[in-house]
Amino acid sequence: MTPALGYASIAVVTVITVLIGFFGVRVSRTTSDFYVASRTVRPWLNASAIGGEYLSAASVLGVAGLILLQGERALWFPIGYTAGYLMLLLFVAAPLRRSGAYTVPDFTEARLESRTVRRLTSVLVILIGWLYIVPQLQGAALTVGITTGLPRWVGAVGVAVIVGVVVAAGGMRSITFVQAFQYWLKLTAVAAPVVFVLLLHPGTRPALGEAIAGAFPTFSIADPDVVYRSVSLLLALLLGTLGLPHVLVRFYTNPDGTAARRTTLIVLCLLSVFYLFPVAIGMLGRLFMPELAADDPDALLLLLPSAVLPSPWAEAVTALVIAGAFGAFLSTSSGLVVSLAGVVSQELFAGSVRGFRIAAALSVVVPLVVAGLTDSAGLAGSVGLVFAFTASTLCPALLLGIWWRGLTARGAVAGMATGAVACGSAILFGWIGPDGGLAGALIDQPAAWTVPLATAVMVLVSRLDARRIPRGTERFLARLHVPER
C-alpha cells in the first residue's frame, strides 16, 4: 500500500471534520447551545449524528475482523449493537428526554435527590468514557500504522489532539453536523468494497458459500460454552447501549419525547443498513484473505480492496476506506469527549464554557496514556466489555429509575457499586490471564451474571430502605411519562 494514499485520505477527512466543526461554531452562542445544541436538532439530522457517533472502530473494523475470525458466532455482534437501540427506544428514549436533564448524573440526581448518587454516576460515566475511547485510539494506531508506515503511536496521538481541539473549540452544535457527516462517510466506506468486489468479480458469490461452509461447518448450539458466551454477549450489547453516555447525551438534543422516539426508529434503520456491509466484508475476507485471520483480522477492511480489486479501483476504494475508518475514530472519540467533558466540567468547573474546554483536554489525555500502555486485542471484543460494564452499572439505575417507584438513593448506589466491582474485576482478570473452561467464560463474558447481580442488589437494598423513597418520586415519574403539549 502506498503511504501517500494513507496520508491524503487521513488529511482530507481531518480537514473536512475540522471545517464542519468550526463552521458550526458560529451557531453556538449560549452555554446551553454549547452543551446540547439547545435541543433543536431535527430527527433525521440527529439520527445520522447518533449513527455517526455510535459506529466506532469496533463496528467499522472490528465486526468484519471478528467474522473473519469466528464466522457465524460473530454475527451476534451486529445484531446486538443494533438491537441495543430497540431497548433504548422501548425503555429509555422518551422518558429520558422528558426528564430535562443534560447528562446521566443530572438525571440520577434529579430522580433520587442525592448528591452521592450523582457523584458515583459521574465517576462511572467518566470510567466508561475512558474505557470506550481506548479502543478507538488503538484502532487509529492500527490504521495509521498500516496505511502510512509511521509508528503506531502517531495515530493515537493524532486522533487525541484533533478531537481535543475540535471539541474544545466548537462544543456540541458543531459536533452534531460532524457526526451526521461521519455516518454517511462510514456507510460509503464499508459499502464501496462490497459493491466493487461483487461488480468486478462476478464469480464471487458461489465461491463465497463454499469458502464459508469450508471454514465454519455447522451452526453449533450444543456446546454450552458457546451458548453461554453468546447469551452473555447479547445481554451486554442489548442493555449496554442504554447506558452509554455519548449516546444518551444525544437524546437531550431532541425537541420532545415523541421526536426522541422517531429519532431512535431512524437510528435503527440506519444501523441495520450499515451492518449488512461489515458482515459481507467478513465473508469476502474468508474467501480472499483467510490467512489474515491468524494475523491481524481487524485490518481486513483496510487491506481487502487492494488485495482483490484491479489497479485504479483498488486505490480509490482504499482511500475511501481509510477515510471512513479514520472518521470512525474521530467521531466516536469526539462524541465521548463531549459527554465526558460535559460531566467533568459540571462537577469541577460549575459548567462554564471555559471549564468545558479544560475538561475536554483532560478527557483525551487519560485514555491516550492507557492506549499507549496496553495492547489492542480485538477491537469488537474490547468494546463489548465496555458494554458489559455499562449494562452492569448505569443501565439498571436508569431502567429502575424510569419505571420503578421503589428505587432509593442507597439502592442505586449499592447496585451500581456492586456491578462496577463485579464487572470491573472480571475485566481486570481477563487482562491478567484468560482462562479456559467455565471460569474463563464467566470472566470473558461477565454480563450474564453481573447484570442480574447489580439489579438484584439495587432492588433488595431499595426495598430494605423503603422509608427513604424520594419524596418527589411521584411527580418526577409523571414528568417522565406524561406527553408534552
Partner 1 sequence: MSADAPADPPRPRVRVTAPRHPDAGTRPPSGAVGGDPAGLYVRSLIRSQLRLAIVCAVAFIAVLIAVPLTFALVPELDAASVAGVPVSWIVLGAGLFPVLIAIAALYVRTSARNESRYRSLADDA
Interface residue list for partner 1 (CB under 8 A): 72, 75-76, 78-79, 82-83, 85-87, 89-91, 94, 205-210, 212-213, 218-219, 221-222, 230, 234, 258, 261-262, 264-265, 268-269, 272, 275-276, 279-280, 283, 403, 474, 477-478, 481-483
- Contact predicate 411/458, CB 8 Å: yes
CA distances from 460 to 57, 103, 376, 412 (A): 38, 26, 38, 10
What's the min distance (Å) between Cβ of 113 and partner 1? 16
Three-class secondary structure of residue 179 per DSSP: helix
Nearer to partner 1, 350 or 471 (CB): 471
Shortest separation between residue 203's beta carbon and partner 1, angstroms: 10
Minimum Å gap between C-beta 275 and partner 1 is: 7
With beta carbons less than 8 A apart as the criterion, state whether 292 and 303 touch: yes
Cβ-based nearer residue to partner 1, 156 or 279 = 279
Residue with smaller CB distance to partner 1, 188 or 258: 258
CB of 301 to partner 1, least distance (A): 16
Q: For residues 336 and 327, what is the distance between their CA atoms, to the nearest angstrom? A: 14
- Closest approach, Cβ 119 to partner 1, in A, equals 28
457 touches 464 (CB < 8 A): no
Instruction: Tell me whether residue 217 or residue 310 sits nearer to partner 1 (CB atom).
Output: 217
Please count the other Cβ atoms lying within 10 Å of the Cβ belonging to residue 207: 12
Distant-in-sequence, close-in-space partners of 99: CB < 8 Å, separation ≥ 6? 107, 110, 111, 476, 479, 480
Q: State in angstroms the smallest separation of the CB of 432 from partner 1.
A: 32
End-to-end CA distance of the chain: 58
Alpha carbons 89 and 91: distance in angstroms, whole number: 6
Nearer to partner 1, 103 or 462 (CB): 462
Smallest separation (angstroms) from partner 1 to the CB of 112:
18
Q: In terms of CB distance, is 3 or 209 closer to partner 1?
A: 209
Among residues 376 and 473, whose Cβ is nearest to partner 1?
Answer: 473
Q: Which is nearer to partner 1, 248 or 322 (CB)?
A: 248
Q: Minimum CB separation from partner 1 for residue 403, in Å?
A: 6
If the CB atoms of residues 100 and 209 are measured against partner 1, the closer one turns out to be 209
Cα dist from 253 to 94, 101, 265, 386, 428, whole Å = 12, 11, 16, 24, 35
Q: How far apart are CA 451 and CA 123, in angstroms?
A: 19
d(CA 459, CA 444) in angstroms, rounded, equals 26
- For residues 97 and 263, give the distance between their C-alpha atoms in angstroms, rounded to a whole number: 12
Helix, strand, coil percentages (3-state) for the chain, rounded to 5, are 85, 0, 15
Q: Could you give the dihedral angle defined by the CA atoms of residues 163, 164, 169 and 170, in that order, rounded to the nearest 10 degrees? A: 40
**Residue 209 C-beta: closest distance to partner 1, Å:** 4
C-alpha cell at 355: 471549564
348-353 long-range contacts, Cβ below 8 Å, gap at least 24? Answer: 351/31, 351/35, 352/31, 353/31, 353/34, 353/171
Cβ-based neighbour number of residue 89 at 10 Å: 18
Cβ closer to partner 1: 230 or 450? 230
Q: Could you give the CA distance from residue 146 to residue 299 in angstroms, rounded to a whole number?
A: 8
Contact 173, 34 (CB under 8 A): yes
Q: Which is nearer to partner 1, 372 or 470 (CB)?
A: 470
Minimum distance between the CB of residue 225 and partner 1, rounded to whole angstroms? 15
- Name the residue among 54, 383, 353 with its Cα closest to residue 187: 54
Least separation, in Å, of the C-beta of 400 and partner 1?
12
Q: Which is nearer to partner 1, 203 or 437 (CB)?
A: 203
Q: How far is the CB of 268 from partner 1 (least distance, A)?
A: 5
